[in-house]
Amino acid sequence: MLARLALALVSVAATVLPVTSAGPYAAPAALPDLSPQTLTARYAAVRHEIERAAATSRRVHGTAMSPFLAPSRTFLSFDARGSGRAVEVDGDLASADRVAVVVPGADNNLKNFDSWKFAGGAARALHQQARAIDPGTKLAVVAWLGYESPPILSRTVLSADRAERAAKDLRTFVHGLKSVNAAAPVDLLCHSYGSVICAKAAPGLPLADLAVVGSPGTTVGRAADLHTPARIWAARATGDWTRHIPNISFLGLGFGEDPTSVAYGAEVFDAGSGSHSEYFKPGSLALRNLSLIALGRAA
C-alpha cells in the first residue's frame, strides 16, 4: 500500500508548474529591525519599497499595484520578485491587546493577496469579524505571506522542505512582534501548507494559541510533540478535500497524523461545511470560531 501511495504522490508531483523568475524587480533594501522605536520607520521604508515596485510594474507591465498603495494600508515587508511576498498589519500593532498571525498555504501570491481566500483578504476578514464580536478588544491581525508559497500542483507542496525554510523566518518574525508589543499574546492561525510551517516554527515560541485548519498534517504525531506552550486547535470543514489525504509520511512525502484526530490531541473546533478555501469566508462558522480563538475566547 505504501509503495502505491508513493507512486501516486510522485505522479501528482510530476505536474510541476514552472518557477516564476525574479523578473525586473530588484531585491528590497534592508529594513529596520522590529521594535517600538523603529515601527513607524519600518512602515515608511516598506511603503517606499512598494512605490518602487509599483513604478517598475507600470514601466514593464503597464500595471501599478494600486491596491497596495492605499494610504490606509501598513506593511512590514514587501517583495515583488517572483510570485511575491508581503506582510501586512490590520490594526495597531504597538497598542494591541492581542495579535493574530495568519499563515497561508499553497498558491498564495501578490495577485490574489487581497482575496479572502488568501493571506491579505483572510486577515482583513478575520479582523472585521473579531471587531464585530468584541469591539472592546484591540486585535491586530497580520497577514504573513513571508515565504515563497508553493504551487498546489508541485512536488514542493508534498514535502516539508520549503516549510523548514519558511519556519525560520516565521520564528524571527514572531520574536520581532514580541519586541514591538511584549504584553500582547500572539496566536498563529495556519491554513493548509501553512500549518506545516507553523508546526516547524512552534517549538519554544512565545505563543498563546496555535490553530491549524485544512491541515494535511504537521509532521508530528501528537500536539505535545510541537513543544510549545500554546493551546493547539484543529479543524477541518466537512467539504474540505484534505479529508481524503492519507495521513502518513513516506520517503520524504506526506505530513503524518491528522491534527483533527483523537490521537493527535488538539482541541478540535467546528469549521462548518465549507471547502478547503473557505475557512476565512465572511459570515462562515469557521471564520467566527477562528476569530474567537484570536480574541482569546477559548470557550
In this predicted structure, the answer to whether residue 1 has a pLDDT above a threshold of 80 is no
At residue 249, does pLDDT exceed 70?
A: no
Confirm whether 262 is domain-assigned: yes
Among residues 230, 82, 96, 208, which one has the least CA distance to residue 145?
Answer: 82
Q: What share of the chain is helix, strand, coil (3-state, %, to 5)?
A: 35, 15, 50
Residue 22 within a domain = no
- Per residue in 251-299, pLDDT (tens digit) is 455 578 999 999 999 999 999 999 999 999 999 999 999 999 999 998 8
Domain count, the chain: 1
- Condensed to tens digits (0 to 9), the pLDDT of residues 175-206 reads 999 999 999 999 999 999 999 999 999 999 99
**Domain assignment present for 113:** yes
| 207, amino acid identity | L
Tell me if 25 is assigned to some domain. no
* Rounded-to-integer distance, Cα 144 and Cα 95, Å: 19
Residue 175 lies in domain = 76-294
Instruction: Give the number of other CB atoms < 10 A from CB of residue 136.
Output: 7
Q: Residue 168 is part of a domain; what is its CATH number?
A: 3.40.50.1820
Q: At 244, is the pLDDT very low, low, confident or very high (cuts 50, 70, 90)?
A: confident
**37 in any annotated domain:** no
**Whole-model pTM?**
0.90
Least confidently predicted of 15-19, 133-137, 143-147: 15-19
